[in-house]
Chains A and B, each alone.
Chain A
Amino acid sequence: MISRKRICSILMVAGILLFLSTGWGAAQEKFPNRPIQLIIPWAPGGGGTLNAQTLQPAFEKALGGGAMIVNKTGGGGTIAWNFVANAPPDGYTVGIVNPSLVVTQYTTKTGVNFKKFEPIITTVIVPAGVAVKADSPWKTFKEFIDYSKANPGKVNMANSGHAAMYHMGNVGIEMATGVKFTHIPYKGSGPCVAALLGGHVDGTLAEISTLLPYVEGGKFRILAVSSSKRNFAIPNVPTFKEFGFDLDVGTWYGYVVPKGTPKERIKVLHDAFKAAMNSEAFKAFYAKQGGVIEYMGPEGLMAYLEAQDKQWKKIIDFGGFKPE
């Protein structure tokens, strides 16, 4: 005889199955039907979090659903990126990526790889600039490079972390111009700025959004920017290209989902991000930061990632960096 307890439990299991199946059915009908997680690999207050926070209101409105910003720091971004890559490909876990994604492929053993993602969109590119103190003897990039060439290892360049993007960017400058810097690693761009303000280093390479306030305040001089065109915020500053080399070391922010996410969901996310990019709040935010709003769709971002991959691999090989 089947006990009453048994019947109860069978009924309960059946109920749960029924609940799950209807839940699944609903999920297929409408996307999104629950909040989307935007996974940020960096600490609150940083450029990536600010990018997501500025997009968030317009993004939610266009999406017709909630978006949660989740900071998951550690491992130079690799923890969050691996988390996103291994998340269920249902469109509910979205990651933000920047050039570090490509760099860490070659400098860590964490298995991060841009090919594990489906790209959605790029939002903005903030070019990098070479900054020195306003009272330093170098008035132009050429003078700075000539001095560095004549005195190998004498110029101290601050970077935002060993083997991180801007360290590699400085190595990229070495590769292109044949100079030799002494690289001093700091934890992030903020401490680099402080070190330069205090005169503890001779120069730094950082995104111009970080540098601009100090240029306006008369403390720093930007000698060159990394973008292919001159930046609207500092139109007098020449580009690397004008000195005869290509080095795209600016910080761009793009969004990705795990490989295998259905195309129609990527499109929903893409359209919402695109609408958010066109919001006044987003444009006004980057107008002050020297950020160039740059739209690339899924294919465009994939092609850009491949180009970035080639550029960074060349620089990393030149510098002799190995995964550690």
Chain B
Amino acid sequence: MDIFSNILAGFSIAATPLNLILCLIGCFVGTLIGVLPGIGPAATIALLLPVTFNLPPASAIIMLSGIFYGAMYGGSTTAILVNIPGEAAAAITCIDGYQMARQGRAGPALGISAFGSFIAGTFGVIFLMLLAPPIAELALKFGPPEIFAVMVLGLTILSYLSSGSLIKAFIIALIGLFIGMIGIDIAGIERFTFGIPDFFDGIGLVPVLMGLFGVAEVLLNIERVITRDIFVTRIEGLLPNREDWKRSIMPISRGTAIGFLMGVIPGPSNTISSFVSYAVEKRLSKHPEQFGKGAIEGVAGPESANNAACAGNFIPVLTLGIPTSAVMAVIVGALIIHGVTPGPLLIKNNPDIFWGTIASMYIGNFMLLILNLPLIGLWIKVLKIPYGILFPLILFFCFVGAYANNNSLVDVNVMIFFGLVGYLMKKTGFEPAPLVMAYILCPFLEEAFRQSLIKSHGDFSIFFRRPISATILAIAFLFVFMNIFSGIKEKRKRFLEKIDED
């Protein structure tokens, strides 16, 4: 078979000593920046690009992609330990991962996220090998109406992202949509920018996340010094046990499928796929009430999804030269600077890069697992650092990260502002996840909506005439309908029980 000889050729490239070392360096750097809040893979890859100038192109791409998927591994670490998502995609991991850590189960949480990432990453790469060209063709069919439909579907899962009051979740989601509208819209009109040029492109995602999660968490913890000993005394086991595995295996498989498929769609697919996976797990779970209180499914699913999405991300880039995210744009730039033309001919003209990179991702995922498992013991020790030292350090990294993200002081102020907002939200029982989800979706939702209507000259039927968008919208409506129906059923049941008691 042609494909197997290609894969073998890929491994022969990826397994040279130089490329193995570069892959390891990439994975290690990736893990590191994944752990550090704020400093994301896009900036790091751009920064390290000159280092690769003298390397062969395939080796350079092997190292740079290692940084990307390494960061997805590392991103969950701080989310679980201190409730700060190292990467946007790990925002959802905060919910149950941090609760697990508070219950002394940081080890299993970190462990399942490493294993989940490994399994998803590996299967993602296998899918990538087998299905890249046909999936890329399918992805091209996603025009504005289809992307709009996907975003609507994304909004319908909002109700699963909250473990508290549904009304509060919707209120905070609306605020998220509002924040997402700040900036210049696609027709060039400024909205809520107050003339500040830094807001023209919208409020930055990184400072918002670090404020809502990181700074707010530090502020909250200043109040509750007493609860501290829970962390130290009850750390049960470093790795997931049999029960954990039993509960996680299906979420990991579903997360892999969701992440891979969504990774191909343009937009912040890593983040969205992890949110979608969380919602799906909560919907399918037999004990949805445990979500938000430390359910391991809520860690296993999303962490797998965002790693599988990495593999999905590479498809449009390697097969068509089209970047679907900021990180991929930098990878495209790296290819160009190395004299390789990303585009429809890449697989044909540079098979060494395509197959070498894919094979290296397989090896890299294995390295990451080996790298991350022993680190779990070390990470848990982080929780033993006295708060008086840990919290100033967290704040320090947040400030550095917020500034380094775009070399902008405005971002630091945005982070502080959202830190206060996050604090007040926690105090009043609002949760940040629905806000983050709505805020991330909003620009894509609006852009796709308006592009569709410009194209159709204002005719709304464009969303229903096209088979893909019509199907996705139908699923979204079904989702909402089912939700309302089960809500009514629940209320009725409770009402009848009450009558019985009387």
Bind each other: yes
Listed in ascending order, the chain A residues whose CB lies under 8 Å from chain B are: 43-46, 49-50, 53-54, 56-57, 70-76, 78-79, 82, 107, 109-110, 153, 156, 161-163, 182-187, 190-191, 193-195, 197-201, 212-214, 216-219, 284-285, 288-289, 321, 324
* Interface presence of B290 (CB below 8 A): no
CA distance A288 to B201 in the complex (A): 32
Q: Which residue of A lies closest to B54 (CB)?
A: A57
Contact of A45 with B330 at beta-carbon distance under 8 Å, contacts A190-B322, A288-B339 already known: yes
B45 CB contacts on chain A under 8 angstroms: 44
A72 touches B50 (CB 8 A): no
B343 touches A217 (CB 8 A): yes
* Interface presence of B326 (CB below 8 A): yes
A158 to chain B, nearest CB (A): 9
CA distance A311 to B162 in the complex (A): 54
A46 touches B337 (CB 8 A): no
* Interface presence of B454 (CB below 8 A): yes
CB contact between B190 and one of A43, A50, A201, A324 (< 8 Å): that residue: A324
B190 touches A184 (CB 8 A): no
A193 touches B322 (CB 8 A): yes
Q: Which residue of A lies closest to B406 (CB)?
A: A73
A289 CB contacts on chain B under 8 angstroms: 336
CA distance A191 to B330 in the complex (A): 15
A191 touches B337 (CB 8 A): no
B140 touches A194 (CB 8 A): yes
CA distance A219 to B330 in the complex (A): 23
A45 touches B333 (CB 8 A): yes
Choose the segment among B65-73, B181-189, B268-276, B428-436 that binds chain A (4+ C-beta atoms closer than 8 Å).
Answer: B181-189
B228 CB contacts on chain A under 8 angstroms: none
CB contact between A198 and one of B140, B201, B343 (< 8 Å): that residue: B140
Contact of A214 with B344 at beta-carbon distance under 8 Å, contacts A197-B320, A198-B143 already known: yes
A284 touches B339 (CB 8 A): yes
B342 CB contacts on chain A under 8 angstroms: 213
B323 touches A45 (CB 8 A): yes
* Interface presence of B42 (CB below 8 A): yes
Contact of A219 with B344 at beta-carbon distance under 8 Å, contacts A44-B43, A324-B190 already known: yes
A74 touches B198 (CB 8 A): yes
Choose among A163, A183, A198 the residue with the greatest number of B CB atoms under 10 Å from its CB: A198
B46 touches A71 (CB 8 A): yes
* Interface presence of B455 (CB below 8 A): yes
B195 touches A45 (CB 8 A): no
CA distance A191 to B332 in the complex (A): 13
CA distance A156 to B451 in the complex (A): 11
B336 CB contacts on chain A under 8 angstroms: 50, 285, 288-289
Choose among B45, B49, B334, B343 the residue with the greatest number of A CB atoms under 10 Å from its CB: B343
B141 touches A198 (CB 8 A): yes
Q: Which residue of B lies closest to A57 (CB)?
A: B53
CB contact between A184 and one of B46, B316, B455 (< 8 Å): that residue: B455
A53 touches B188 (CB 8 A): no
B42 touches A44 (CB 8 A): yes
Contact of A217 with B345 at beta-carbon distance under 8 Å, contacts A53-B50, A72-B406 already known: yes
A54 touches B337 (CB 8 A): yes
CA distance A45 to B454 in the complex (A): 29
Contact of A107 with B188 at beta-carbon distance under 8 Å, contacts A184-B451, A195-B143 already known: yes
A214 touches B343 (CB 8 A): yes
